[in-house]
Structure 1
């Protein structure tokens, strides 16, 4: 789950040989809100941890508006070892 700044960090159970391939999906906390959505951005990935940040976006004529998601957004992370 995200913290106050919309970020979540995972520490892998053991270090990997190389940074992994990741897939991250946020669970929209307000799926009925058709004017806002959430997206996940990978901020850091190493052999021992990954950090993502969830953003809330809102379409706006001429430009969009985004802000960090609040605390408590669930994020699903899948880690795949990188192939050589």
Structure 2
């Protein structure tokens, strides 16, 4: 079982990020503010958001952690407006 602690781009030091670390959808949802799987699916379907595309391994979705953090950092005002 994984921790429910929420991680945000602001509290993930850049030097702790591993460039090729892949994370599952559950961690992506946590990093993105505890969003639901349906919200993640909607973000993936919306071409205007340009959310990073997942990698599929054994039919499961994974993302490069660095890509998700970079995407979040590029969109602070849009995400705050949606809350």
TM over 0.5: no
Query: Which structure has more helix as a fraction of its residues?
Result: 2
Q: Whose Rg is larger? A: 1
TM-score by length of 2: 0.24
Instruction: Give the TM-score normalised by structure 1.
Output: 0.24
Which structure carries more strand by proportion?
A: 1
Instruction: Between the two structures, name the one with larger relative contact order (CA 8 Å, sep ≥ 6).
Output: 1
